[in-house]
Amino acid sequence: MKKNIIILGGGQAGIYAAREIRQNDSESNIKILGEENLLPYERPPLSKDFLLDKKNEDDLYFHSIEVIKNENIDFENVLINKVDFEHKKLFSKNEDVYTYDSLLISTGSDNKRLSLDNNLSDDVYYLRNLEEAKIIKEKVSDKNKITIIGGGFIGLEIASSLSQLQKKVTVIEIGNQLMGRIIPKQIADLVQNTHIEQGNEIILNKQIDKIIKKNGIYEILLNDNSIIETDFVIAGIGSTPSVKLFENTNLKLDNGIVTNQFCETSIKDVYAAGDVCNFYHPFYERNMRLESYQHAQNHGICAGKNIAGVKTEYTSIPWMWSDQFNLNLQLTGICDDYDEIIARGNDINNGVIYFFLKNKIIKGACGLGIAGKVGRDIRITSKLTEKNTIVDKQILSDQNQKLNKLIQKQ
Partner 1 sequence: MSEENWIEVGSTDSIEEEDLIRFDHQDKTFCVYRLTDGFYATDGICTHEAVHLEDGLVMDDEIECPMHQGIFNIKSGEALSPPACEDLKTYPVKVDNDKIFIKID
**Interface residues toward partner 1, by CB under 8 A:** 16, 42, 62-63, 293-294, 297, 301, 319, 321, 328, 371-376, 379-380, 402, 404, 407-408
Please report how close the Cβ of residue 380 comes to partner 1 at its closest, in angstroms: 6
Q: State which residue, 194 or 297, has the beta carbon closest to partner 1.
A: 297
Please report how close the Cβ of residue 71 comes to partner 1 at its closest, in angstroms: 12
Specify the DSSP element, H or E, that contains 36. none
Radius of gyration of the chain (CA): 22
Contact 59, 44 (CB under 8 A): no
Please report how close the Cβ of residue 12 comes to partner 1 at its closest, in angstroms: 9
Q: State which residue, 48 or 281, has the beta carbon closest to partner 1.
A: 48
Please report how close the Cβ of residue 350 comes to partner 1 at its closest, in angstroms: 11
Cα gap 178→321, rounded to integer Å: 15
**φ, ψ for residue 277 (rounded to 5)?**
-95, 145
Cα–Cα distances (Å) from 104 to 86, 311, 348, 408, in that order, read 15, 15, 42, 39
Contact 156, 178 (CB under 8 A): yes
**Closest by alpha carbon to 366, among 340, 343, 392?**
343
Contact 302, 263 (CB under 8 A): yes
Q: State which residue, 238 or 372, has the beta carbon closest to partner 1.
A: 372
**Could you please report the per-residue DSSP string of 38-80?**
S--B-SGGGGTTTTTTSS-GGG-BSS-HHHHHHTTEEEEE--E
Q: State which residue, 306 or 382, has the beta carbon closest to partner 1.
A: 382
Q: State which residue, 16 or 100, has the beta carbon closest to partner 1.
A: 16
Contact 139, 232 (CB under 8 A): yes
Q: State which residue, 176 or 404, has the beta carbon closest to partner 1.
A: 404
Q: State which residue, 30 or 380, has the beta carbon closest to partner 1.
A: 380
Residue 33 one-letter amino acid = L
Please report how close the Cβ of residue 373 comes to partner 1 at its closest, in angstroms: 6
Specify the DSSP element, H or E, that contains 135. helix 130-140
Please report how close the Cβ of residue 65 comes to partner 1 at its closest, in angstroms: 15
Please report how close the Cβ of residue 43 comes to partner 1 at its closest, in angstroms: 12
